Amino acid sequence: MPNLTDIMGEINAVGSGHDVIRRKYLLKLSDLTGRNTIIYYSGWLQKGFPGLMPHLIVNDSDKNGFMAAIHQLDRTKGLDLVLHTPGGDTAATESLVHYLRQMFGTNMRAIIPQIAMSAGTMIALACKEILLGKHSNLGPIDPQIGGMFPAHGIIEEFQRAADEISGAATPQELQARIALWQPIIAKYSPTLIGQCQKAIKMSTDITTDWLATGMFSGDADAKQKALKITEELGSHASSKTHARHIHRERIEALGLKVVYIEADQNLQDTILSLHHACIHTLTRTPAIKLIENQNGVGLILSAQFQFQAGSPPAAALPIEGETMTAQLSPVIFTLN
């Protein structure tokens, strides 16, 4: 007969009801495709507090979760990566993709049930094809400096200042334009322009290489195709904003290899059921990030929330269908 400790271990192994249902559909998707399947889900839409964002974006800590999820998988089955992320650090993204390719080569597919922006888009572009629904979106891959300011925009603004000042027709006009631009340019750090240029080149180079050696591998014009797509997705002038949602028709028109999940009703239902289970987990539990394989192995990052005086008492986060009007900040959280 199992003792108290044995029963506790059994309870912990099963997890919460959210874990049971999520893992049910994760296993069902893997069984349906015959491929390894890993979810990479961020709760930035549910719990995007400023202090939490470094943990919600793609970062170097994520690799620990992927290492746990990939351990003991039959890697000959390839990998389907279900992505839902706002993006994150380019260097961490490069390292993560390098690791995934060390494990699975280029036998990877990206499944986007809703949104994979910025670095999430870059990860999708490292796969051999991208599975999308009518509701799915990728995003621009132009690098952001400090997570807020577009590198292209900074360079464009600096060039505009230089053009306007050098184009002054009279000394009076020159002084007026200098006076206008000086307080703006004075905020730039000494190496900012060079940093922006290098960030753009890094993003372009690694994504072009991933496309050329993955999705377009074997094509005679693989490099040209890849560069065209990377330059288009990395164009701040084209996207206007880094938050721009790029829809399926546009993604396919760029020349990317896209699979419509609606073509297989069973596949679509399973993907969306898994997506909804993940969203419920992120909404109704302390979980803020999910990295998990079809066997229920991986990493779930959680945060415990407490509200300071003047805010709601140590309360649960808002639940879907409920209205929470109390101020949510300041908030203290601890990661688990």
Residue 330 has pLDDT above 90, yes or no: no
Please determine, for residue 136, whether its predicted confidence score (pLDDT) is greater than 50: yes
pLDDT at 135: 95
Question: What band does 307 get if pLDDT is binned at 50, 70 and 90?
Answer: low
pLDDT digits (tens, 9 = 90+) for 66-96: 999 999 999 999 999 999 999 999 999 999 9
Length of the chain: 336
Q: Averaged over 132-160, what is the pLDDT?
A: 90
> What's the CA gap between 90 and 103, in Å, rounded?
20
Asked whether residue 306 carries a pLDDT value surpassing 60, the answer given is yes
Lowest mean pLDDT, pick from 242-246, 287-291, 316-320: 316-320
pTM: 0.86
The reply to whether 285 falls in a domain is: yes
| Residue 181 placed within a domain | no
What is the radius of gyration, based on Cα positions, of the chain?
A: 23
> Residue 240: inside a domain, yes or no?
no
Q: What is the mean pLDDT of residues 237-259?
A: 93
Q: What mean pLDDT, rounded, does the chain reach?
A: 88
Question: Would 62 be classed as within a structural domain?
Answer: yes
What tens digit of pLDDT does each residue of 27-74 get?
Answer: 999 999 999 999 999 999 999 988 899 999 999 999 999 999 999 999
Q: Is the pLDDT of residue 334 over 90?
A: no
Task: Give the structural domain span for 293.
Answer: 15-139+245-301
Number of domains in the chain: 1
User: Do the domain assignments include residue 168?
Assistant: no
Classify residue 314: in a domain, yes or no: no
Least confident of 229-243, 274-288, 307-321: 307-321
The CATH number assigned to the domain holding 49 equals 3.90.226
- How many angstroms separate the Cα of 168 from the Cα of each of 157, 159, 164, 179? 17, 14, 6, 12
pLDDT given for residue 19 in this prediction: 93
- Short-list 25, 7, 11, CA closest to 290: 25
99 in a structural domain: yes
Distance CA 92, CA 305 (A): 27
Q: Which residues contact 123 (CB under 8 A, 6 or more apart)?
A: 58, 81, 83, 85, 93, 96, 97, 110, 116
Question: Which of 18-22, 78-82, 212-216 comes out lowest in average pLDDT?
Answer: 18-22
State yes or no: pLDDT of 241 exceeds 80.
Answer: yes
pLDDT band at 322 (very low <50, low <70, confident <90, very high): very low
Tell me if 251 is assigned to some domain. yes
